[in-house]
């Protein structure tokens, strides 16, 4: 609801404040659209804590209470501890995902190079140059050119406008 309405304690915590505590969503006036919807779903209080690692804002940890004043200063301290661990785990997960994506991309490019090396009896360096030129002339990412070659056996060299 916060994303669709563009307002709420989560967004304020993620982008402006480190901690946003809302004692009672029924009387809160900062985010009227969000509060109405949250109360309808049974939330009466809320605590949002920014998740960030090394200066990168990643979002917010959101805790919802079914009664007003469910969160106090101790809740904030415990929430900060949980948020710190969650932020580190989230950042590590993103890095691992990016590394996996890079490995897959490198594997696809390597396969495409191998196809070109075998087909045209050229070196790996020359095959890579062929792929980069095709990428440039077709205005496509190198990975896409390589993936097209490995799946279809054809190399994309230029984008052609569609004919009606």
CB 47 within 8 A of CB 21: yes
Laid out side by side, the sheet with 45-53 consists of: 19-22, 45-53, 56-65
Reply yes or no on whether the pLDDT at 86 is more than 70: yes
Whole-number pLDDT of residue 158: 56
161 dihedral zone (left: phi>0; alpha: psi -120 to 50; beta): beta
d(CA 105, CA 99): 10
- For residue 162, the model assigns a pLDDT of 44
Query: Among residues 74, 85, 83, which one has the least CA distance to residue 13?
Result: 83
Give the chain's mean pLDDT. Answer: 91
Highest average pLDDT, of 3-7, 32-36, 90-94, comes from 32-36
The pTM for the full model equals 0.66
> What token pair was written down for 30?
């900062």
Structural domains of the chain, with CATH = 2-71 (3.30.450.40), 97-152 (1.10.10.10)
What count of Cα atoms within 13 Å lies in the side-chain half-sphere of residue 44? 7
- 122 three-class SS: coil
């Amino acid at each position: 609801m916060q994303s669709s309405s563009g307002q709420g304690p989560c967004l304020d915590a993620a982008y402006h404040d480190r901690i946003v505590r809302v004692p009672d969503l029924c009387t809160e006036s900062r985010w009227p659209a969000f509060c109405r919807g949250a109360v309808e779903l049974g939330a009466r209080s809320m605590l949002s804590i920014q998740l960030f690692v090394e200066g990168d804002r990643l979002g917010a940890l959101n805790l919802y209470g079914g009664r007003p004043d469910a969160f106090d200063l101790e809740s904030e301290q415990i929430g900060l501890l949980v948020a710190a661990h969650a932020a580190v785990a989230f950042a590590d997960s993103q890095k691992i995902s990016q590394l996996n994506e890079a490995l897959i991309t490198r594997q696809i490019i390597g396969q495409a190079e191998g196809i070109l090396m075998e087909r045209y009896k050229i070196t790996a360096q020359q095959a890579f140059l062929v792929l980069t030129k095709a990428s440039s002339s077709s205005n496509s990412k190198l990975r896409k050119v390589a993936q097209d070659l490995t799946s279809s056996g054809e190399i994309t060299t230029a984008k052609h406008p569609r004919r009606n």
